[in-house]
Amino acid sequence: MIELQQAQEIVLSNITQLPITIVPLAECDGLLTATEIKSAESIPPFDNTAVDGFALNFDAVASGKREFEIVGTIAAGDPGDIPLEPSTTVRIMTGAPLPAGADCVLMVEDSKVSDRSGKTYLSFDRTLSKLENVRGTGSDIRKGQLLFPANTQLFPGHLGVLASLGIHELSVFKRPRVGVISTGSELSNDSGPLLPGQIRDSNRPTLMGLVKEVGATPVDLGTVEDDPSKLRESFLQAAATCDVVLSSGGVSVGDFDYTKQILDDLSHGTMSWMQIAIKPAKPFAFGLIGSTPIFGLPGNPVSSAVSFELLARPAIKKMMGHLGVFRTPILAIADADLRRRADDKLHFLRVTAKIESDGRIHVEPQPGQSSHLLYSMSNSNALAIVPNGQGYKVGDEVETLLLRNL
Ligand code: AMP
Ligand code: MG
């Protein structure tokens, strides 16, 4: 058996960032910037009003003047070329540019408007501060400012910033196409009754969902029987059309595990067949077909998901341009005993994590921890890391990987 860290090093030392491509902004969500991004413009691009109201000259208001003649209206989108004089004001709508001579805005809620001798006047009975309700040029983003360093993952908020600067396409690391194959002659794909000995393929939807969660594109490559020529054809096709391939099943030592033979052959003997000192997910294989990384994940549903989390996910993140690829464990409080036997392995227990009233994250183990128990996986959102030994007692602090935001 090898340590988990050693297996992770074998994988990551064979993984490189995918090529840089230019992608339309609308498709950049979740991708990472390939270069730093500086702002070529100021945001807001001009001084404008934060409220509907009246644009005023601060010095005039400060001198005690409370009545101004209304000489026009500036809507959002207008150029705003109605210069103020000390005795005049203009109606102004949120987002509209401040006219020359204005440096504060009175909210419409504080105003009174009246007509006299064919003219319209604003009056009010409060003071204003300089720049009140004014959104200054560049108060959000300054021209020339470094916005995002290279290797920044883009979330919807980033896309808004880039769009506000007129950036419509971007240099990013390619989004990995991750092929997902299930192997095993027992696997059925349709919703009809199962034949004797068959089970339904549950790994593929799970792994494809996990791939999507990382921000990569899952490619459904179906199920393949334990048949050497079919396996060979599937893996060749997968390696040719995807940036990385995840296969589940056939990596342990069963009689019909032809996967080993085929992958050894296609990878020209570069596959590493590992027994990792973890539970679940002990068997694991990794290698390259051509330059395409191939992950041989165990077949048991829980093992394949845990193997993905610990070995494939960091690799996909590296391909995407992430600099940090591992989740940072948090310290949670065990709300029940997390017992185990000493077996020289690092255990990953499926737990349900919750924030409790003390503000801390607490974890409770799922009742079933065997690697075939699918249902307990659906009810857990975290993995408690339990080192070799007897486990933890209720109240102990436990290193935990949060698989989802709470
Ligand atoms: P294997 O690693 O191929 O020996 O499979 C280990 C166990 O996982 C067996 O009980 C398989 O039937 C089961 N298994 C393998 N692949 C899948 C899958 N795609 N969906 C559900 N169970 C699977
Ligand atoms: Mg199998």
* Closest CA to ligand 1's atom 4: 250
In this predicted model, what pLDDT tens digit does every residue of 310-343 receive, in sequence order?
A: 999 999 999 999 999 999 999 999 999 999 999 9
* CA dihedral (96, 98, 100, 101) positive or negative: positive
- For the chain, give the mean pLDDT: 97
Identify the band that residue 155 occupies on the pLDDT scale cut at 50, 70 and 90. Answer: very high
Please say whether the beta carbons of 113 and 52 come within 8 A: no
Token couple for 365: 């183990």
| pLDDT score of 255 | 72
- Provide the 8-state DSSP code for 167: -
Domains along the sequence of the chain with CATH: 4-19+174-320 (3.40.980.10), 21-43+139-173 (3.90.105.10), 48-135 (2.170.190.11), 330-402 (2.40.340.10)
Q: How far apart are CA 57 and CA 66, in angstroms?
A: 11
pTM metric for this prediction: 0.94
Tell me the CA–centroid distance for residue 13 and ligand 1, in Å.
28
Peptide bond into 19 cis (omega under 30): no
| pLDDT score of 308 | 98
Q: In this structure, which ligand is nearest to the CA of 252?
A: 1
Q: What is the DSSP string of 192-245?
A: SPPPTT-EE--HHHHHHHHHHHHT-EEEEEEEE-S-HHHHHHHHHHHHHH-SEE
Residue type, 314: P
Nearest to 57 by CA among 113, 112, 101: 101
The partner residues of 349 in beta bridges, in order of sequence, read 384
299 C-beta closer than 6 A to ligand 1: yes
Q: Which atom of ligand 1 is nearest to the CA of 201?
A: 20
206 C-beta closer than 6 A to ligand 1: no
Tell me the CA–centroid distance for residue 255 and ligand 2, in Å.
9
Q: Which atom of ligand 1 is nearest to the CA of 223?
A: 19
Rounded to the nearest 5 degrees, what angle is found at the Cα of 94, between the Cα atoms of 91 and 96? Answer: 70
Q: 320: part of which helix (H) or strand (E)?
A: helix 313-320
Identify the band that residue 190 occupies on the pLDDT scale cut at 50, 70 and 90. Answer: confident
